[in-house]
Amino acid sequence: MKHLAIPSGSTSLSGILHTPVAPVGNTLIISHGFRGSKDGGGRAVALAEAAAAVGCHVIRYDFTPCVNLSCQITELNAVITYARQTIGGQIFLLGRSMGGSASIAAAAADQRISGLILWATPWNLDETFRLALGNYYEILAAGKNITLEDEYGRLQLTPDFIHDFNRHNLLACVKQLSTTPILVIHGTADVIVPANQAHTLYQHASEPKKLILFPDGDHHLAAYSQEASSAVAEWLSGFVR
């Protein structure tokens, strides 16, 4: 593994590069979810190692904390540019939860993306954050800041965080991906991003596409982490240059 400082505007993003023993010309960029990290409690590391085992270069990186979806899309584009300049080859995007939302938008704007993996990804962010934030969502909607304190630490959000959702029509973005292969992975017991969102994404996607549902899987697919990583690696192995 190699530590990276990925240029993004006036700052840089912290990243990790996994280099495969036998490269096949593919690079996977993993974007984490809301309040997540490039490590993902170890699960993102295992996922990256599984993808590297089938010949992919893998970049894990951290979004700037507290940024809205528009900013995440900009930062993901910076990572894509970095990957093209330093590694090259086919680029695949994998987004976990809100990172998947950013990946949808980035792929729709860049037809050179070779494939898209959506892991517990919402297209309806209003529904998702009403479930995730509860009463805090209504406070944001009323134009007030909120401060969250939980096992992930302390976080302040401004109303723009949720207002920014309206700037992006993610289902329209999916429809634009008329030739981009898409893999959708979701747990049927996800209470943050209900599985009907995965079904809707799949229905609006064009072929080639694949949907994998894990029975009773939660939002993090905690009980299926290894199986989900293996499914991603198997899917990626079908795109050798």
Q: What's the pLDDT tens digit per position in 31-56?
A: 999 999 999 989 999 999 999 999 99
Give the Cα separation of 203 and 181 in Å (integer). Answer: 13
pLDDT at 241: 65
Domain ranges of the chain: 2-124+169-236
Letter string b/e over residues 152-170, b meaning 16 or more CB atoms within 10 A of that residue's CB: eeeeebeeebbebbeebeb
Question: Is the whole-model pTM more than 0.75?
Answer: yes
| Token representation of residue 120 | 């517990």
Residue 200 pLDDT greater than 90, yes or no: yes
Give the Cα separation of 11 and 26 in Å (integer). Answer: 27
Residues in the chain: 241
Amino acid (one-letter) located at 38: K
For 191-195, what is the mean pLDDT? 97
Q: Within 13 Å and on the Cβ side, how many CA atoms surround 93?
A: 33
The answer to whether 212 and 183 are in contact (CB under 8 A) is yes
DSSP of 128-145, one letter per residue?
Answer: HHHHHHTHHHHHHHTT--
Largest CA distance in the chain: 53
pLDDT at 17: 98
Percent of the chain with pLDDT over 90: 91
Residue 179 pLDDT greater than 80, yes or no: yes
Model confidence band, residue 15 (pLDDT cutoffs 50, 70, 90): very high
The answer to whether 75 and 84 are in contact (CB under 8 A) is no
Residue partners of 11: CB distance under 8 A and separation at least 6? 64
User: What CATH number has the domain spanning 2-124+169-236?
Assistant: 3.40.50.1820
Model confidence band, residue 132 (pLDDT cutoffs 50, 70, 90): very high
Give the Cα separation of 160 and 138 in Å (integer). Answer: 13
Q: What's the pLDDT tens digit per position in 204-224?
A: 999 999 999 999 999 999 999
- The sign of the CA dihedral 175, 177, 183, 184 is negative
- Average pLDDT of the chain, as a whole number: 95
- The sign of the CA dihedral 48, 33, 94, 228 is positive
